[in-house]
Amino acid sequence: MASGQMSRAEALECKGFRHACHVMLYSDTESQLFGKTPIKHIVLMQMRYDGLLGFPGGLVNPSEETLEAGLTRELLEEVGLAVPIREEDLVETCIAPPHPGFNPRLILHFYVKKMEEEQIRELEKAATTTAVDHGLEAMGMVRVPLYTTKSGGGLPNFLSQSFIGNARTQLVTSLRRLHLVSPGELQRALQNSLRMHA
């Protein structure tokens, strides 16, 4: 497990830290790419205003709102629907690693929530219509290709994109833990992606 990991309670006792909550929303699907490659699962990320891929969510203020209420508020802003998030959906809490010359003093809370495919579709519509941050902080939701095509495209290419913070690790760890991609296929995709971290 990643270093700097802590419990929710420990995190909330830390003084002088800001908190951010992000969530991986996903569903099962029967869809097939080109009518033959099973998509199996829909996993949502977003293109951020800074050109990096990340999960929807953002800074929360635990003195004014619970972590989960803050995350639901951020989802309303960025995705256009107030998806309810529960304490049980929290997967990992860790301190954001300092950059050279800059310590963000930020605690990151990562959630995972399974939805119905129909809810995912509604959410994708809302993200371009009712979301106030659309075209501002959030440049659009994207689905993660979980398959690898014959020519080696799909997940390996996706993992070669640039990600905010440890979002790439959060994605890879979740795909593994939830068995959304088989261990062998995930390992090959990581080896064939241009970036080898995580």
List contacts with ligand GTP (CB under 6 A). Answer: 20, 22, 54-55, 57-59, 74, 96, 108, 137, 164-167, 170
> 174 is in the binding site of which of Mn ion, ligand GTP, none (Cβ under 5 to 8 A by kind)?
none
Q: Which residue is nearest to Mn ion (CB)?
A: 58
Place of tokens 């979980």: 146
> 20 is in the binding site of which of Mn ion, ligand GTP, none (Cβ under 5 to 8 A by kind)?
ligand GTP
> 145 is in the binding site of which of ligand GTP, Mn ion, none (Cβ under 5 to 8 A by kind)?
none
- Compare residues 33 and 136 and give the one whose CB is closer to ligand GTP: 136
The verdict on 80 binding Mn ion (CB under 5 A) reads no
Q: Within its chain, how far is the Cα of 13 from the centroid?
A: 25
The verdict on 165 binding Mn ion (CB under 5 A) reads no
Distance (Å, rounded) from C-alpha 67 to C-alpha 69?
Answer: 6
- Compare residues 74 and 92 and give the one whose CB is closer to Mn ion: 74
Q: What are phi and psi of 154, to 5 degrees?
A: 100, -125
Report DSSP state, residue 161. Answer: S
Check if the beta carbon of residue 19 is closer than 8 Å to that of residue 109. yes
Check if the beta carbon of residue 33 is closer than 8 Å to that of residue 147. yes
Check if the beta carbon of residue 169 is closer than 8 Å to that of residue 2. yes
Intra-chain end-to-end CA distance of the chain, in Å: 11
Q: With contacts defined by CB under 5 A, name the span among 69-77, 106-114, 115-123, 182-190 that binds Mn ion.
A: 69-77
The verdict on 58 binding Mn ion (CB under 5 A) reads yes
Q: What are phi and psi of 80, to 5 degrees?
A: 85, 0
Tokens linked to 24: 């991986």
- Compare residues 18 and 114 and give the one whose CB is closer to ligand GTP: 18
Per-residue x/- mask for Mn ion, residues 114 to 153, rule CB under 5 A? -----------------------x----------------
Compute the C-alpha angle 107/161/89, nearest 5°: 40
> 26 is in the binding site of which of ligand GTP, Mn ion, none (Cβ under 5 to 8 A by kind)?
none
Q: Which residue is nearest to ligand GTP (CB)?
A: 58
Q: Which residues bind Mn ion (CB under 5 A)?
A: 58-59, 74, 137
